[in-house]
A and B are shown apart, each in its own frame.
Chain A
Amino acid sequence: MEKIARICYASGDSRLSLYMHPEVLAYPFIFISLFFEAFLLVTFLSRPARAQRERKASIATPKVAIVVPCWNEENTIGGTVESLLALDYPKDQLSIVLVNDGSTDGTREVMDSYIGNPQITVIHKENGGKHSAINLGIERSPDAQFVGCLDADAFVAPDALREIISCFDNPRVAAATPAMSVYEPKTLLERMQNAEFIFGIALRHIIAAVNGLYVTPGPFSFYRKSVIDEIGGFRHAHQAEDMEMALRIQRNGYEIDNAVRARVFAKSPSTVRGLIKQRTRWTTGFLRNVAYEYRDMVGNARYGALGILILPLGFIAVAGGILMFILGIFMSIREAVMTILITNGVPLSYTLIPHSLQLFYFPITTLLVLTLVVTGGIMVFIVLGKRVSQTPGTLVEGMIAYLILFPFIAPWWLIRSFADVATGHKRAWR
């Protein structure tokens, strides 16, 4: 900014301010972000959210079945099953159904090693998609009062099931979601995802207080079996069967709750490419399900917070993420080109060295301060998410990585998802 001041000193050129006009496009999104954070904060402090946080783990132990759909997860399936076997729950009330969905690696062998365990049922089937594997598992659990799913690359805390089951004390609750974080995050990318997941913990906890959840994630979401019998099993649903099921539950007038201390740890993509692929699947799943099959719910007051606020905001978040990214690139390129043009011929040493660090030149603008407030709000919710879920581990590196890396990575899956939906392009799961 000091550089610009120097440029203007001699030229007195205020035309630079005209070039700033694209920034105006950011204001609506900043307003919406700020409003959403304020809404989250108010809801976090409201009675239903407080009651959720104070809720004790279930003492009752109804009959439960956990389905583990699995496709080529030979490295993680063993750990997943072991974590299920370690759950603090009566063994005669908990059955585990392992469904091999046509794996081509050593998954079959690992699964078969559990044959003979009275708690575990092992099923091998032709590959038919995750939804078909879950449905088969549910079919084989006729006695269960509640059925849960657990991805074969996720691991649960011992008390997670009792925390989840307590959600179903309310007879209107048809599904319950856990508190998901990343399993042993080591790299910067994994730590970034962990911070993001913990932000998601706070988000789900708060939004559940106004029954606004639109996804029951694969890792350890539970369903009231009678409701699944009533509304039907899982569907392919554009590779987002967990999202479609949640939307169907909501459309049928049931509620989806969240167990904020039901900790589950999922493996996360270790490469940027893998992350973008995964998130593209999630985002296209949201866009396609909501825009095609569940369009009637968007903006529909009958569905309360979900219809009026959450689903419309989902679309706005995608559009805003793409627009802000393009705007940022445009402004950066424009600034770079202007700087090159203006400073051309003047020694680089003069251009690069800051000539004044006076407070006077600090570029404080309303947009900058509001952006900092919104960013600070996200950080606060990440900390809250960690505290209320009692998720172990440190967060500082993850939060820094989230601040620095996420804005540069997320737009790519948003753009890719938008392009896929616009062109009708379908991608493979992995």
Chain B
Amino acid sequence: MFDLKKHIKANSIDHAIALLIENPDARLIAGGTDVLIKLRDGKPGFSELVDIHGLEELNFIRQDGKNNILIGSGVVFTDIIQSDIIKKHIPMLCDAVQSIGGPQIRNIATIGGNNCNGVTSADSASSLFALNAVLEIRGKGTIRQVPISDFYLGPGKVDLKKGEILTTFKITPENYQGYFGYFYKYAMRDAMDIATIGCAVSLKTKNQILTDYRIAYGVAGPVPLRCPKTEKSVINKKVSKSLLDEISQTIETDVSPRTSWRATKDFRMNIIKELSKRATKEALQRAGEEV
């Protein structure tokens, strides 16, 4: 039995916002794969829940008239993996969410919950960072658009105010059209494991020149992060094996991994450097470049 004091089912986004304002101590629950574990663990702050589980208004994957890809925050990972839109335009995100938990978890855990949890190991986050995803957040009579890089404020902290709810992930065409991406998760096991390091690369090439390059990591710092120094240093350079080595050298200056019981700082740094090469190579191959 969960130590629940209050459980109120929201039947729309507006209703959920009103309930959150009426019940200032309440938290949102969607898939429950994080909230119910914390509740079971006796963590404080989860005994009042506003329930948006299965809310149809948050369950969509579509392209709008401007070719923006819109993903509802209530979409479960299995639906992302099976989505023709995601498979066709941003297969990297399929790779990433495929690596989460096992089938039972992917059938119920949502992309919104994964990111609102605010943890650096969120497997969907690094791809969304590389795609410059914009998050739509609704409050009472307000709508805000927040770039994902600004959404993560610190470990377990995200830019959501009281009475606000994350509704949509938006990926604009200039951030996915012509890009090739790859996600690499390094963990102790191939399934049911938390990433030691997650690495997402998204790039564009023209005549063997890297015209755009983005690299994002999970667990390489307190929150998921992009690597601006490395990105800047390699854009407009010719694709080559030595460029991969260059990336893996510069990347050290962009990240700040730490020691945890899962892995030491030094080991993480080693994985970060290696994955920068591997993920970049795979993304280049998808782009049709020989390395």
Q: Do A and B bind each other?
A: no
